[in-house]
A and B are shown apart, each in its own frame.
Chain A
């Protein structure tokens, strides 16, 4: 009797899986790889010198700086908020718990531009709090605070969404064990809770960073896009593009893309650790 190695059920064609795999690769190439490659091709179209000059443009440098500043402020705040929210929801039963869970997800389902407009109507000069803010000489709209507020809004769910399911799945037994062994609140958090959620926390922070750096819609409403003042990198790219400075726009876009790729690699590395 002959023995045949079977890696698939007899009578079943191999054509279908092959076709599907080819389709998946093809679509990825068309929708993801090609545009990304195109960005770098266009950015370097006029050579290294032009590329560096474009990046070194004071307005572009300022936009990169502003975007980094926003990310540096927003991400730690959202890590703190996400941890606090996940902790509260996972560990305690209180009225409004379900509501809080839903509220955290709202930024996912609302278009960022709506968030921008809401902030404008609330904090703008003609807005609800406008007169009070003007009287106290506080400028939120068309300034850094407005950009930070909107970016916080759109990135709010990331950390909580990553950490919460993990904390719920793990339950509180390890923390209770630590308490019976004499650990105080901070020791429980730093030595038991945090090590357990560190990868999920970092993963959420990485996603939040990517979103904070790339946010366009909400920020475009509240920043006013004042060059050299309130222009973030995505807004700067759009301005350059509208100015028909395509090489400059692509050069700036390439920096954003590099950030995104780095985030992607960090994310993949973290996923394998979780």
Chain B
């Protein structure tokens, strides 16, 4: 089932939550909507499910207009962040729910429903839990039941809201691989919402990065990591250090900055901003350097430095055994040598609508 969303907008009260979303999801694709809270990703998911309605825009699934269709008629499988299992029903009854509420004429017989539930319990590896109630299950088991309940109606589209948000790290990793398998075996078109980059990149075919009601970038992990399309994506992907620079002949220049590792870019001369990850900055000891180490802590493998130039303090991470780390201590003066960076024209204040220009990321020995 291919999904096509056109110019969709939605506001709650006076607050715009979606500001013109265009997105196409191919049949059988697994897509992640990635963004911080408030980016509108869950609202978009709920609109696809029919639990919210947009102010304007189009939603077509396999060419059929879904905005004219009630949620009940869409046959979607929706998995809620907190599972929303029915606490007064056993696992079996929870999974069977979608089949038992069908109009009498379409409702499968009791034996057929029981067989379907058995099949799902087995498929989801929770065969022994059928008679339990949700309160008697662990988080990971509840997640499986929630997915089983959604899969029972053989959904056209599977939608998951922060599917692993409420689980601890080890369970999360297990379930991720397992969900990927479920997706491949059922062949359904799947969209899930997450704020966890690792989760999005590991699981999805394509990742849609959302910020403040807009799609900022669509791509895979490497594309988004190395070539952020906007300052928003750069920041979201961890480039938290922003340095004001001047561009001359395509090269970034600033006092105390050694930009020799960054390739030249075809950009007009003038003010620009460099976006850097703390781990992509190498401090080079230099007695006349503009930056001074104001703090230095170690976790054994990584040195975390705070560098200050009097007006700005930035974090820098480097491997403790790297040659550059030798002799660094509080008070050492250094130059900054970025190994990879994104650069967007304009001073920092103007960075919200900047055009994308990227630098290839250089590998750094860790």
Does chain A bind chain B?
yes
* Residues of A in contact with B (beta carbons under 8 Å apart): 173-174, 176-184, 187, 191-192, 195-196
Contact B84–A195 (Cβ < 8 Å): no
Contact B101–A184 (Cβ < 8 Å): yes
Identify the closest chain B residue to A177 (Cβ): B84
| B-side contacts of A174, CB under 8 Å | 84-86
Contact B88–A195 (Cβ < 8 Å): yes
Contact B71–A179 (Cβ < 8 Å): yes
| A-side contacts of B78, CB under 8 Å | 176-177, 180
A-B contact pairs, 22 of them (CB 8 A): A173-B80, A174-B84, A174-B85, A176-B51, A176-B78, A176-B84, A177-B78, A178-B97, A179-B51, A180-B50, A180-B77, A180-B150, A181-B98, A181-B150, A181-B153, A182-B102, A184-B72, A191-B86, A191-B101, A192-B86, A195-B88, A196-B88
| A-side contacts of B152, CB under 8 Å | 181
Whole-angstrom distance from the CB of A170 to the nearest CB of chain B?
9
Interface residues on B, range: 20 to 34
Contact B72–A182 (Cβ < 8 Å): yes
Contact A177–B80 (Cβ < 8 Å): yes
**A187-B107 Cα distance, complex, nearest whole Å:** 14
Contact B80–A182 (Cβ < 8 Å): no
**A183-B153 Cα distance, complex, nearest whole Å:** 12
Whole-angstrom distance from the CB of A56 to the nearest CB of chain B?
45
**A129-B71 Cα distance, complex, nearest whole Å:** 48
| A-side contacts of B41, CB under 8 Å | none
B282-328 residues at the A interface, CB under 8 angstroms: none
| A-side contacts of B86, CB under 8 Å | 174, 177-178, 191-192, 195
B85-107 residues at the A interface, CB under 8 angstroms: 85-88, 97-98, 101-102
Contact B72–A179 (Cβ < 8 Å): yes
Whole-angstrom distance from the CB of B261 to the nearest CB of chain A?
50
Contact B71–A180 (Cβ < 8 Å): yes
Decide if B247 is an interface residue (CB 8 Å cutoff): no
Identify the closest chain A residue to B12 (Cβ): A93
Decide if B172 is an interface residue (CB 8 Å cutoff): no
Q: Would you call the interface of chain B mostly helix, strand, loop, or mixed? A: loop
Contact A196–B87 (Cβ < 8 Å): yes
**A168-B48 Cα distance, complex, nearest whole Å:** 25
**A129-B152 Cα distance, complex, nearest whole Å:** 59
State which of B51, B82, B101 has its C-beta within 8 Å of the C-beta of A181: B101
Known: A173-B80, A173-B84, A174-B84. A180 touches B101 (CB 8 A): no
State which of A173, A182, A196 has its C-beta within 8 Å of the C-beta of B82: A173
| B-side contacts of A192, CB under 8 Å | 86
Q: Rank and list the top 3 A-B pairs by shortest CB-CB distance, nearest first.
A: A181-B98, A173-B84, A177-B84
Contact A182–B98 (Cβ < 8 Å): yes
**A176-B83 Cα distance, complex, nearest whole Å:** 11
Identify the closest chain B residue to A192 (Cβ): B86
Decide if B49 is an interface residue (CB 8 Å cutoff): yes
Decide if B75 is an interface residue (CB 8 Å cutoff): yes
Contact A180–B88 (Cβ < 8 Å): no
Residue with the highest number of chain A CB atoms closer than 10 Å, among B49, B82, B85, B101: B101
Whole-angstrom distance from the CB of A20 to the nearest CB of chain B?
36
| B-side contacts of A183, CB under 8 Å | 72, 97-98, 101
Residue with the highest number of chain B CB atoms closer than 10 Å, among A174, A177, A178, A191: A177
**A176-B87 Cα distance, complex, nearest whole Å:** 14
**A173-B49 Cα distance, complex, nearest whole Å:** 13
Decide if B149 is an interface residue (CB 8 Å cutoff): yes
Contact A182–B84 (Cβ < 8 Å): no
Identify the closest chain B residue to A180 (Cβ): B78
Whole-angstrom distance from the CB of B5 to the nearest CB of chain A?
18
Sample of 17 more A-B contacts, CB < 8 Å, known A177-B78, A179-B51: A173-B80, A174-B85, A176-B80, A179-B71, A180-B72, A180-B78, A181-B97, A181-B101, A181-B149, A182-B75, A182-B102, A182-B153, A183-B72, A183-B98, A183-B101, A187-B101, A191-B86
**A7-B150 Cα distance, complex, nearest whole Å:** 51
**A79-B78 Cα distance, complex, nearest whole Å:** 33
**A78-B78 Cα distance, complex, nearest whole Å:** 36
Whole-angstrom distance from the CB of B17 to the nearest CB of chain A?
15
